Amino acid sequence: MPEVVVITGATAGVGRATARLFARRGARIGLIARGRDGLDGAAVEVEAAGGQALAIPADVADADAVEAAAAAVERKFGPIDIWVNAAMTTIFAPLHEITAEEFRRATEVTYLGFVHGTMAALKRMRPRNKGVIVQVGSALSYRAIPLQSAYCGAKFAIRGFTDSLRSELIHDGVKVHLTMVQMPGLNTPQFEWCRNKLPRRPQPVPPIFEPELAARAIWFAAHSRRREVWVGGSTVQAILGMMLAPGLLDRLLARKAYGGQMSRELADPAAPDNLFAPVAGDHGAHGPYGGRARSRSLELWVSRHRGAIMACAAGLLAFLVSGAAARPARPRLS
């Protein structure tokens, strides 16, 4: 039977690329987002790729709307197998330039949207004692950076929420699998349509990767029993660096992360943003940095093949040990 998948934030970026990948596997997909234009475009792509689509306009900050969307998916396609939380919005600005209303809204979408999605999924998966929930995270859920306090705070909160819930499910013997995929900087439209108060247009922290890589990591996470999947060397460096030298990273980011997050292009103060309402049009999966973006990650490849790598390493070690044991001892000189 084809999988039934729900993807929040399905109209653009990671969500859009993930919808296309699941569609190529024949999935029946509930697409949840606010913008009708993007939903229509995503639904057309899903159908063209071999999947089935149900486009549902909903704001993930509204728990009732998310619950209603989950019910609509199951009425049309049947029990949900996989739920992918990917919706987000943010503000690029230092904290002293962000209003309380702006910060609250970014948190409601980027953090509470994941909570609402997880609640709707678990309401259906717990009684069946099966299912997978994928939380699209970030290296910034371990190592926060300046100018993105709202986004980093939300990603930290998602990780804490997910870890807490995972322990609850283990305690109750519930076999719903929770996994989190920690992403690097990605070439998505968020850098064109999220609220920006910086003097220049924002960009992902290099190195930049294409959203299709993120989609492959999400697919892998949804079909393996991994607790977390780390994508990109920059993600590994950020997480391990935070564990080993957080104070050094504070000072390094204070010097380099401001310029590193801004392109050379001046910002357009009149540009529309999606903080409180969707931006009109179908924006697709990609942002403007395709010329600099990578489509492969050695770290993801190693994660996907770690069983075979460990087996080969163990075999090589055994061969070396056996060879050393079989080697005749050198005679001692008297």
Rounded to whole angstroms, how far apart are CA atoms 247 and 239?
Answer: 13
Catalytic option among 111, 142, 151, 289: 151
Rounded to whole angstroms, how far apart are CA atoms 329 and 307?
Answer: 35
List residues bridging with 71 in a β-sheet.
Answer: none
* Residue whose pair of structure tokens reads 């061969």 in the numeric block: 319
Rounded to whole angstroms, how far apart are CA atoms 151 and 103?
Answer: 9
Q: Would residue 151 show up in a list of annotated catalytic residues for this protein?
A: yes
Burial class of residue 247, CB neighbours in 10 A (0-12, 13-18, 19+): exposed
Rounded to whole angstroms, how far apart are CA atoms 121 and 83?
Answer: 7
Q: Between the CA of residue 202 and those of 101, 152, 192, 213, what are the distances in Å?
A: 21, 15, 8, 21
Longest dimension (CA), the chain: 90
Q: Which of these, 242, 139, 240, lies nearest to 182 by C-alpha position?
A: 139
Q: Which residues are catalytic?
A: 151
